[in-house]
Amino acid sequence: QQPVQSPQAVILREGEDAVINCSSSKALYSVHWYRQKHGEAPVFLMILLKGGEQKGHEKISASFNEKKQQSSLYLTASQLSYSGTYFCGTGTSGNTPLVFGKGTRLSVIA
């Protein structure tokens, strides 16, 4: 079942913050976050496996709620290089393929 991502698109000025959400109607095994630039393959950002987990670094981080049905990606003090489409991919077990959300198009302008 495809996870629901929101917002669909967002435009930021350099230095602004953004939050991208990814939700599922069922508890998940894992949530993966990827960023894709136009014409390129997705680039891995991070995985969350545990309920209540938060990880990442100062500028880009993510959380996974206790019920493991919702994850958020936090982009802080955005840079021009953050522009791209962000996808969350969800897994229902350790060996299943990921099902990706429809993506969130992020545009950072100067």
Partner 1 sequence: GAVVSQHPSWVICKSGTSVKIECRSLDFQATTMFWYRQFPKQSLMLMATSNEGSKATYEQGVEKDKFLINHASLTLSTLTVTSAHPEDSSFYICSARDGEGAPGGELFFGEGSRLTVL
In the complex, the residues that contact partner 1 under the rule CB under 8 A are 2, 29-30, 32, 39-42, 44, 47, 49, 87, 89, 91, 93-95, 97-103
Q: How far is the CB of 1 from partner 1 (least distance, A)?
A: 12
Q: How far is the CB of 15 from partner 1 (least distance, A)?
A: 27
In 3-state terms, what secondary structure has residue 82? helix
Give the DSSP letter of residue 2.
Answer: P
Asked if 51 and 66 count as a contact pair (C-beta separation under 8 A), the reply is yes
Asked if 84 and 34 count as a contact pair (C-beta separation under 8 A), the reply is no
Q: How far is the CB of 9 from partner 1 (least distance, A)?
A: 11
